[in-house]
Structure 1
Amino acid sequence: MKIDWFTVIAQIINFVVLMWLLKKFLYRPILAAIDERESNIKKQLLDAESQKKEADQAKAEFNHKNEIFNKEKDVLMQNAAAEAKAEADKLKATARDEANELKTSLEKAFTEDQATKNDNVAKRLKGEALDIARKTLADLSSVSLEDQTVTVFIERLNGLKVDEKTKFSEALKGGKTILVQSAFVLSKEQQALIQKTVSSLLKPDSTFEFKVQPELISGIEILTNGYKLSWSVAEYLGSFEDDVEVATK
């Protein structure tokens, strides 16, 4: 059999050209697409891993801060409860001591003036001393003494009679500053509550000034242009002293 070398060489050339064309226009784009796809997948995996690490780190940081916050909150609540209890005990002891002092003074006065005073008067006045002490403690006994004091004072404002409101309104004429004095520092919320209550009752166009006056003995008072409205433990005790003075005349 005779070989047709021309045909063989032509077929070889055709095969080489075909392989070159396939490589250039088919295999190379496919391989490039595969490489690009693989690169994108690797990049997405890296991004996902990075985001997972960031999320885990953020979660750990949040849990840590939340744990610190809970601890601080517990400490603050315990401290607040302890301070409130200490203040309540102190106030009760003070009121009890003052009531005992008044009781002792009354007993001494009655002993010195037994010729003109009888036992019934002594018993009535002693009972009033105890009633005042109980009323004071009942008004102020609370987890938060300051909040309870503000609440009682607001009730006093809301319970003003018509003539008292008229006096208050007259004192506010001319835009006089309203001075609010308290035995403790009023919070912004407490100041706002007092301002709102006064404004709702009297509709004044006045400014407010808040000062601390420890001598009030757990009390609050409003002063403006010669007018005063107050509430405190001392007020109860003063009322009692007036009753004693009238009864012993």
Structure 2
Amino acid sequence: MLIDWFTVIAELVNFLILVWLLKRFLYEPVLKAIDEREKKIASELQHAADVEKEAESRLIELQRKNEAFDNAHAQMIKDAEQEAVEEKRTLLNEAHREYDALRMRLQETLKHEETSLESRVTGRISAEVFSIARKVLQDLSGSSLEAQIADVFCQRLRESDPEDVAAMKDAVSRKSLNPLVRSTFPLSSSLQERIQAVVRDVFSIDTQLRFEEGDDMVGGIELSMNGHSVSWSVRSYLDSLEKMTAELLEGAE
């Protein structure tokens, strides 16, 4: 079968456009919001510094008055000095508390926004990767992405360590529930039968498997039983792609 290079190149161009759109409409608004918050914090810190400076000016003024009226108003000046010191301490403590509170809120906000942005970017990248992968696989081999993932998972089962095989057999013998196969996507009856046959051959388990979908997996399949599991997913590949995309965006900035 000939490779349709035009389709492949078009998909790559679509992916690069997606990366640019993510930078333009996701990263830049977030950075702008962060910059505005930093300016607001700087303004409030400057206000606190002005208040502190004003308190120090008042202290100097009170000290000058103390020199002029030392003999006649010694006790009054002493009280004024004490009041100024206490006021300065109060203002400084209040400014420090406000600064610490603002810094903590900013850190929490930045952390939350970073986590939210990473989650959205990961979801978009995952969706685009699967879309491109489906089209490329169909163009190159005429097979579906789900079938390819099932084939890789079956191969992973065949390559299981002897210890994992023994542990799974023991888990089945001691557990009343049948082994569970979880996947990101619904498995067709033919794929279920294929996995059932491989599990029977590899683990010598003559029992009916349970199948269900799970949103916590990213493009993968997992066989689990009583704490033991064998799985395969594209999470590691997506993590590498996400890291590469982040480095690409940082370089573009």
Q: Tell me if TM exceeds 0.5.
A: no
Identify the structure with bigger relative contact order (alpha carbons < 8 Å, sequence gap 6+): 2
Q: What's the TM-score, normalizing by structure 1?
A: 0.39
